[in-house]
Structure 1
């Protein structure tokens, strides 16, 4: 045996062990002096041709290798969809004869040339393919950046509101420090959000239908699960209670909640799947949402177990957050008994009850410290579709007996109807939307609810709390998908105003 093949055989043994006996191995070899978009497209294509992508990096002795092998190897191993890479000491065709990959991939430019790999794959029935990949790979990279990298540059911070209510960014930073170790219980529907990013191919010739192809799928924790996750990553100690099916979506949710350090109690209900919402997106817009769910109330025996488990945890709880999506996790009898338990133990509670594609009534959470409905949800609760916003908020306050109402108005910001300290007239103020160029508004309400309510529970007033909540929402919608809030990002946005900020604010142009 050629001595140069000995070290490659050791690598091949490791490849077989990692890939497993039934995996379809794909092999690509090259110099890879500088990993450029063309390489990435080729390797992405190769990864989709089988189960386990192996890349052989040419050794320093090969003509055309301009950089040290270790540097070129490091560039390849940094690519997430490459399962295994090694520096070759022998020719690719000799490695192929021993490795026996299902598919060998080379660039299109090699198709008209002599390819010694062809004879090697013919010996055992493998396949040699030529491709330069697809341009859509560049879109995948951009989509992942949209998810992982928030665009915080589009966040504004109104100074006039701080002056009006006599507090500073330093005060807000001190409030956030109190989040650490604060004990929160979150109760409500578990949802898994799946974002299917697509590339538009055009219009169907048979009927007026938009034709797309999926290029990236990402799953996130949603519903009350993301509220619990936000609270945890902001520093609180969080217990989360919900109901889930016995399915893959539930397994995913448990793993993510554990990753975010949420103490989760998920009661299994065989009569329903875990709610899964798919969003099909293209060019930064949602084309279609498909919800896989059942909306019936949990059955009485499960409800009793649910109530008892939550009540047993309240002794170690400083705040309860009801995050209701009206999918059956919180029947009225469950809500009433848990609210009575909070009142008996003097534990503040807040609530949000979403009514987008479903119907709900946020006023059913009687006596809450805070409710955060949209304008539509408030109108549904009080059945008034004509009143002005302040009158609407007052009607909801009276019907729900809540201490504070925040109406979320989308691009118009938020309006608060707040309980006065001296039992005088109720106070109203508003804040504009802080993010002037959002990427994905789906998680704004959950982040606003989480941050505002914890701030109030640790001692901040409603004015400080809603400002903090607005910054949290602005950070959340600066990226695509439900990723828990970063306390680092929030603290960055709570830095003190500079002279430049003040000048921009006076001209109405401030942008951080």
Structure 2
């Protein structure tokens, strides 16, 4: 893409500031324990990690919220936690990471926590604690009440579903009712079981595996091109489709752009793909709020994904990092 086009993309980024985004979904605590190994456990043939430092950050829908905040959006997160220490850590993370948290405590479930043990930034073990059953009716009612309290003061909703139980049929229906009542954008970044609840949303951003599952297809045996997948999703679910293709970019099928491949122009050394999908979804919806074309939104999502993939852990993308990625790469472009 020509330098003038890059300048136009950067101008879009500057419009992100002040956009009001409501993130709804499954929040989790990411805990990183770093240390060194200099001996083997005499009890079993495994290394002993001598812990030297520990840090926490919000993951899942929390990662989505912190990325939106880091890019300048006024962000509110609605999610469910347990009544435990991990929930307290998530509240602190929200304050530290710059977004407002509406965390509904459910004493009957654990806060989802993923503990990663690292040596020199290399992950050696991950331990998960979680409850993945659907939230109960009483908690669901509180989530819906929280959504209804927030929707009058937001520009868009981003649904961040990790199949941990928050995005029930009732919660999804409340989101779609709010969309109809207020006319704002809804981007559904959702796991396959939830897709039927979001027919008529503004957009979806599945990866290839999710796209196949949305359509009830086995990826190993289905012979579907990217174009066919995207067009079928658009037709069946009445949404604009941003099919994310990792290092191959994004394939767009929408009312505005019925079939266009936007290749990944940013080549980086991949360190960790954690959080790439979250970040891409944030950039897509903020770009659309700022008047970007679907192609421009996909170009920005590509740049964001490349930056995040070059970093270790589900870390936030800053506006300056994204601007630098666009400034230093003049080869952005599209293919029909």
Q: Which residue does 1:83 correspond to in 2?
A: none
Q: Which residue does 1:400 correspond to in 2?
A: 237
Note closer, same or farther for the CA distance 1:238–1:299 as it changes in structure 2 (3 Å cut). same
CA distance in 2, matches of 1:314, 1:323: 16
Q: Which residue does 1:91 correspond to in 2?
A: none
Normalising by the residue count of structure 2, what TM-score does the alignment of the two structures yield? 0.88
Residue 467 (structure 1) aligned with residue 304 (structure 2): no
Q: 1:383 aligns with which of 216, 237, 241?
A: 216
- Any residues of structure 2 matched to 1:138-217 within 5 Å, and which? 162=1, 168-197=5-34, 199=36, 210-215=46-51, 216-217=53-54
Q: 2:170 aligns with which of 306, 318, 333?
A: 333
CA distance in 1, matches of 2:62, 2:181: 26
Matched residues, number: 327
CA distance in 2, matches of 1:415, 1:394: 14
Note closer, same or farther for the CA distance 1:311–1:475 as it changes in structure 2 (3 Å cut). same
Q: 2:288 aligns with which of 441, 450, 456?
A: 456
Residue 288 (structure 1) aligned with residue 125 (structure 2): yes
- Any residues of structure 2 matched to 1:269-284 within 5 Å, and which? 269-282=106-119, 284=121
CA distance in 1, matches of 2:237, 2:119: 40
CA distance in 1, matches of 2:265, 2:255: 24
Note closer, same or farther for the CA distance 1:214–1:328 as it changes in structure 2 (3 Å cut). farther
Note closer, same or farther for the CA distance 1:317–1:445 as it changes in structure 2 (3 Å cut). same
Q: Which residue does 1:409 correspond to in 2?
A: 245
Q: Which residue does 1:234 correspond to in 2?
A: 71
Note closer, same or farther for the CA distance 1:261–1:224 as it changes in structure 2 (3 Å cut). same
- What is the CA-CA distance between 1:494 and the residue it aligns to? 2.9
- Give unmatched runs, 5+ long, in structure 2: none
Note closer, same or farther for the CA distance 1:285–1:381 as it changes in structure 2 (3 Å cut). farther
Note closer, same or farther for the CA distance 1:458–1:414 as it changes in structure 2 (3 Å cut). same
Give CA-to-partner distance per residue, 1:265-304, whole Å, 9 cap, x none: 1111001111001223446543433210001111112211
Note closer, same or farther for the CA distance 1:366–1:202 as it changes in structure 2 (3 Å cut). farther
Q: Which residue does 2:271 correspond to in 1?
A: 439
> SS where residue 301 of structure 2 aligns?
helix
Note closer, same or farther for the CA distance 1:211–1:452 as it changes in structure 2 (3 Å cut). same
Contact persistence 1:169–1:496 (CA under 8 A): no
- Give unmatched runs, 5+ long, in structure 1: 1-161, 506-512
Note closer, same or farther for the CA distance 1:407–1:433 as it changes in structure 2 (3 Å cut). farther
Q: 2:61 aligns with which of 208, 214, 224?
A: 224
Contact persistence 1:351–1:370 (CA under 8 A): yes
Give CA-to-partner distance per residue, 1:450-474, whole Å, 9 cap, x none: 1111101221011111111222222
Greater relative contact order: 1 or 2 (C-alpha under 8 angstroms, separation 6 or more)?
2
- What is the CA-CA distance between 1:361 and the residue it aligns to? 4.1
Q: Report the more deviating stretch, 438-447 or 471-480.
A: 471-480
Give the aligned CA root-mean-square deviation in angstroms.
Answer: 2.5
- What is the CA-CA distance between 1:263 and the residue it aligns to? 1.5
Contact persistence 2:16–2:290 (CA under 8 A): yes
- Any residues of structure 2 matched to 1:244-393 within 5 Å, and which? 244-282=81-119, 284-354=121-191, 360-384=193-217, 385=219, 386=222, 387-393=224-230
Q: 1:489 aligns with which of 303, 321, 328?
A: 321
Give CA-to-partner distance per residue, 1:170-227, whole Å, 9 cap, x none: 11121112111111111111111122345455777987x5424144432221011111
- What is the CA-CA distance between 1:420 and the residue it aligns to? 4.0
Note closer, same or farther for the CA distance 1:407–1:199 as it changes in structure 2 (3 Å cut). farther
Q: Which residue does 1:427 correspond to in 2?
A: 259
Contact persistence 1:353–1:373 (CA under 8 A): yes
The structure whose Rg is larger is: 1
CA distance in 2, matches of 1:402, 1:167: 31
- What is the CA-CA distance between 1:254 and the residue it aligns to? 0.6
Note closer, same or farther for the CA distance 1:451–1:194 as it changes in structure 2 (3 Å cut). same
